[in-house]
Structure 1
Amino acid sequence: MAVSTSLQSQSNRWPAFIVTIAVAILTILDTAKVNVTIAPIEETLGASSAQAQLIVAGYVLAFGIMLVPAGRLGDIWNRKAMFITGLIVFAGASLYCMLAPDSTQLVIARIIQGSAAGILMPQVIGLIQNLFQGHERGQAFGIFGASIGIGTAFGPTIGGVFINTLGSELGWRWTFGMNVPLALIVLPFAIWLLPGQQKHKQGSHLDLPGVVLLASTVLFVMLPFVLTSGTASDDPARWWFLLVAAVTAAAFVWWENRYVAAGKSPVIDFALFKLSSYRNGVFITTFYFAVMPPMFFVMTLYNQQGLGHSAVVVGMITIPFALMSALVAAITGRFTYQHAAGMVFWGLVIFLGAMLALAGIALWVAPEHNPIWMAVALGVGGIGPGMVMSANQMRTLSRVPVESAGVGGSFMQVGQRLGNAMGIAIATSIFFAVIAMLPMPGGKPDYSDPLTLVTYQDAFFAASAYIIGVLILALIFAFLDLRSDRADKAEAKTGQ
């Protein structure tokens, strides 16, 4: 029976992979498409600025907190069961978001939805590790990287289309509601196709105190950043959470070392960080996600608020990027098994060129032509992220044992969520700090005043300077990883 099940899972591995990727796209879409729904939600539900912020931040925060515990539970229990549970909760929470009668209920629904996304994503990574080996795993991670790019880039476009087509209230409600029929379509295929058996470490069990300490650390690190709007209303006391995070992090490391000394299996295997490929990959992921979502968000603010372009036009700027990055990730996936480190480095170089081009377009291109030229720059620049996402995922997890795939991959995802939260907080704070100097009669910019355009250009350029600086940090780690990879290959060749 075990042989039959194994043969079935092997024959179904690509259809099963499609199921996991469809769900990965759903979870990532909901981190991005909400950006264009905030104004309509404030208008129709009367949400306060704090509630509007929590509608965005609550999802990201819950997502980040759940990743490692859910990844660990998937590793030691059953990834398929965790995947199905997460998908059902995600569909129910999306329906709750759609039908929320007031802004408080919507915040609660978004936190539940983010928790479900945090349950799902580690299982996606673990199942890919479980289903594929060697070159096929590289191809699979190539498509996975493309799916992340598609979800991030197409999110604002989808939200903008719903709002422009259905109006403010129905538009934002169906932006969330679209998840329900899609999840119900995927669910029976998940039950049918996903493998129910997996390899486990001997004597593995859930380290509950470690899970609580790690989740608390992630919460207290992310909290001050997700509560940062860049406006004068931000409470400076929120930064004390970082001190609390330092205490819980120290307690976590102490507990995990004690747990390992007792011969038990910890939440995070610190031995993974002795692998240069894993260590560098986590840093690259964190810095990369401190760049890409903030870049999209600041670009949306600049074009929508600063230049007065519609939500659907602004959303369409990212379409060439999504298509190019998806195409490149799918094509280059076959090469990641041998050339992942080089692809990450050169992909980041190309992306850096695109970021410099965006800053130049904001300064020197006429406002009415900004969307088209930014779309062109991102279309060309999409080659870089298409290489980076697939190759870095493959490179980082290349030496991670299959039985640790869920937690190993989910810690990368924690880096993504931390980078996302910190990047958006810092980039938008810089952007709004410059905008605060601009007089806005009636709370809106005066587009007839030449000072308005100059101020928004300065704000975008200042935020871009921060984004470019973080991207250079990612490039430094990619260079170190490339050197390490070349040294390993030279040593292996000499050994032969």
Structure 2
Amino acid sequence: MTGQEAAKAPRRQDEEPGPDRWKALGVCLVAGFMTLLDVSIVNVALPSIRSGLDTPESDLQWVVSGYALAFGLVLIPAGRLGDARGRRTVFMVGLALFTLASASCGAAQSSTWLVVSRLLQGAAGGLVSPQISALIQQMFRGAERGRAFGMFGTVVGISTAVGPLLGGLLIQGAGAEEGWRWVFYVNLPIGIVCLVLARRLLPDTPDAKPVRLRSLDPFGVVLLGAGVLALLLPFVQSQQWPGNAKYLLVPVAALLLAAFVGWERRCARSGTEPLVDLSLFRLRSYWLGSLLILLYFAGFTSIFFVSTLYLQNGLHYTPLQAGLAITPFALGSGFAAGIGGRLVNRFGRPLVVVGLVMVTVGLAGAALAVHLVPGRGAGWALLAPLLLAGLGSGLVISPNQTLTLSEVPVQRAGSAGGTLQTGQRVGSAIGIAAVGSVFFDHVLGDGWAAAFDHGLLVSIAFVGAALVAALADVVAGRRAARR
């Protein structure tokens, strides 16, 4: 049987894993890297975009946050759709749309054109991402699954961390005027190659079958989307909407999300397939892991936001120099994620606790380094603490992914993975908004170094809250073991 025939042939859940599973994983990881990279790679391109398209600040904000917002809103229904209609099919559709949207971003002739293209690109990335964790659940078992999730965790960690460096290299090579377009055009050859390989290597979903629109819970999608949108808007628009009236959307978001939970419970009682299986949150490992990663990404992604602003605007680094200064975090995260994937089955959640402690110490060291080495030398002083924080990050993202999904049935892997990653995107948006607002409040009065310090304190607070969640899981697990 050829590789393509093997990919098309349905496989029962109890059959041996396919021989091409590691090649298929490689396709998934490259596509995942590409979609997650676009969360952060745009940051260093914003000055070029502003001058090239005469873009106002509000549109620049949407170029960054609009992608994450659309990405997060699509994740859960995309996971459900993949479970129902076939993960390979949804993966390929999302990847094709992402490639086309990247071309549209690169060809943009106005800021409105770019913002709309970024929204479409984010939605397409949201279609792809939950299929990856679901395919890992489907293709691997036991220790191999831990290794596979370890590799995926490496991709998640590095993709966000290495974005500024790759963006800086592209802009340096293509020039400040048009270099920002290649931040998007670079996705085109990668997307085309992944599409060809995905068709040949990715397996079908064994229990996939045609479904009606009603069975995808469209009303639940609307309620969830409206709730998440109402929650994110006041943070995403914090600089554009003055005053505190915007935060009235937060209780509105709480009401919409409460209505979503009530609707999902109603669906479960009536026998209709809900968008999110709320029974997943009865699993301690799942709900605590989801909370942990939401809080951690609020602190994790905001590090690069304030670091890039401080290095480029405060110390007048070029985009490439700023990217190089942050590279130790990416290197440490990638190195430790592979180790974490191998050790997670042995040490469990305490491994995540160790990682969070390392991140906290590293960020505190970064704040101290700016005080001890002021001026342009601060970039060198940041290398060691950011390396320590990166090593800790690799022990957080990959092991947490494995532990959080460890008790989830394969039939719900797409929805569970989508919910988990929605938490990451929501956390990223809230963290960047919270840290950014503190950062900008201190720039004018206290200077760039002081603003960087205050921003890092907020990041550390988010990481500390994630540490509390991890410790709660460890304590609860030990009590359960004694019982």
User: In the alignment, what sits opposite 1:339?
Assistant: 347
What is the TM-score with the length of structure 1 in the denominator?
A: 0.91
User: In the alignment, what sits opposite 1:464?
Assistant: 456
Once residues 333 and 490 of structure 1 are traced to their aligned partners in structure 2, the CA distance between those partners, rounded to angstroms, is 27
2:60 equivalent to 1:60: no
* Number of residue equivalences: 473
Q: Secondary structure at the match of 1:436?
A: helix
Q: Answer whether contact 2:84 2:210 (CA < 8 A) is retained.
A: no
Q: Answer whether contact 1:201 1:403 (CA < 8 A) is retained.
A: no
Deviations 1:77-112 (A, max 9, x none): 211100000000000000000111111101110000
User: In the alignment, what sits opposite 1:477?
Assistant: 469
Choose from 42, 45, 61 the match for 1:37: 45
Once residues 236 and 380 of structure 1 are traced to their aligned partners in structure 2, the CA distance between those partners, rounded to angstroms, is 38
Deviations 1:180-216 (A, max 9, x none): 1110111111101000133469999311211211121
User: In the alignment, what sits opposite 2:418?
Assistant: 410
Q: Following TM superposition, by how much is the alpha carbon of 1:373 offset from its aligned partner in structure 2, in angstroms?
A: 1.9
Once residues 411 and 346 of structure 2 are traced to their aligned partners in structure 1, the CA distance between those partners, rounded to angstroms, is 23
Choose from 187, 192, 210 the match for 2:195: 187
2:214 equivalent to 1:222: no
Identity of aligned residues (%): 39
2:387 equivalent to 1:379: yes
Q: Following TM superposition, by how much is the alpha carbon of 1:235 offset from its aligned partner in structure 2, in angstroms?
A: 5.5
Deviations 1:37-75 (A, max 9, x none): 111111011111111111111111100110111111111
2:201 equivalent to 1:209: no
Q: Following TM superposition, by how much is the alpha carbon of 1:243 offset from its aligned partner in structure 2, in angstroms?
A: 3.0
Q: Following TM superposition, by how much is the alpha carbon of 1:472 offset from its aligned partner in structure 2, in angstroms?
A: 1.0
Q: Secondary structure at the match of 2:274?
A: coil
Q: Answer whether contact 1:125 1:405 (CA < 8 A) is retained.
A: yes
2:371 equivalent to 1:363: yes
Once residues 345 and 207 of structure 2 are traced to their aligned partners in structure 1, the CA distance between those partners, rounded to angstroms, is 23
Once residues 325 and 80 of structure 1 are traced to their aligned partners in structure 2, the CA distance between those partners, rounded to angstroms, is 29
User: In the alignment, what sits opposite 1:85?
Assistant: 93
Q: Secondary structure at the match of 1:47?
A: coil
User: In the alignment, what sits opposite 1:105?
Assistant: 113
Relative distance call for 1:481 and 1:255 in structure 2 (3 A) is same
Q: Answer whether contact 2:86 2:208 (CA < 8 A) is retained.
A: no
User: In the alignment, what sits opposite 1:420?
Assistant: 428
Choose from 28, 49, 69 the match for 2:77: 69
Q: Answer whether contact 2:79 2:418 (CA < 8 A) is retained.
A: yes
**Where do 5+ consecutive residues of structure 1 fail to align?**
438-453, 492-496
Q: Following TM superposition, by how much is the alpha carbon of 1:429 offset from its aligned partner in structure 2, in angstroms?
A: 0.4
Once residues 53 and 481 of structure 2 are traced to their aligned partners in structure 1, the CA distance between those partners, rounded to angstroms, is 59
Q: Following TM superposition, by how much is the alpha carbon of 1:488 offset from its aligned partner in structure 2, in angstroms?
A: 4.0
2:173 equivalent to 1:173: no
Once residues 273 and 257 of structure 1 are traced to their aligned partners in structure 2, the CA distance between those partners, rounded to angstroms, is 13
2:118 equivalent to 1:117: no
The CA RMSD over aligned residues, in Å, is 2.0
Q: Following TM superposition, by how much is the alpha carbon of 1:331 offset from its aligned partner in structure 2, in angstroms?
A: 2.4
Once residues 242 and 140 of structure 2 are traced to their aligned partners in structure 1, the CA distance between those partners, rounded to angstroms, is 47
2:139 equivalent to 1:147: no
Q: Answer whether contact 1:9 1:194 (CA < 8 A) is retained.
A: no
Once residues 52 and 470 of structure 1 are traced to their aligned partners in structure 2, the CA distance between those partners, rounded to angstroms, is 25
Amino acid at match of 1:206: L
What is the TM-score with the length of structure 2 in the denominator?
A: 0.94
Deviations 1:127-146 (A, max 9, x none): 11111111111111111111
Q: Answer whether contact 1:203 1:265 (CA < 8 A) is retained.
A: no
Choose from 266, 277, 282 the match for 1:258: 266
Q: Answer whether contact 2:85 2:209 (CA < 8 A) is retained.
A: no
Choose from 425, 435, 438 the match for 2:443: 435
**Where do 5+ consecutive residues of structure 2 fail to align?**
none
Q: Answer whether contact 2:52 2:178 (CA < 8 A) is retained.
A: no
Once residues 340 and 225 of structure 1 are traced to their aligned partners in structure 2, the CA distance between those partners, rounded to angstroms, is 34
Choose from 156, 170, 178 the match for 2:164: 156
Q: Answer whether contact 2:333 2:391 (CA < 8 A) is retained.
A: yes
Q: Answer whether contact 1:359 1:461 (CA < 8 A) is retained.
A: yes
Q: Following TM superposition, by how much is the alpha carbon of 1:482 offset from its aligned partner in structure 2, in angstroms?
A: 1.4
Choose from 475, 478, 482 the match for 1:486: 478
Once residues 327 and 458 of structure 1 are traced to their aligned partners in structure 2, the CA distance between those partners, rounded to angstroms, is 31
Once residues 199 and 486 of structure 1 are traced to their aligned partners in structure 2, the CA distance between those partners, rounded to angstroms, is 36
Relative distance call for 1:4 and 1:161 in structure 2 (3 A) is closer
2:284 equivalent to 1:247: no
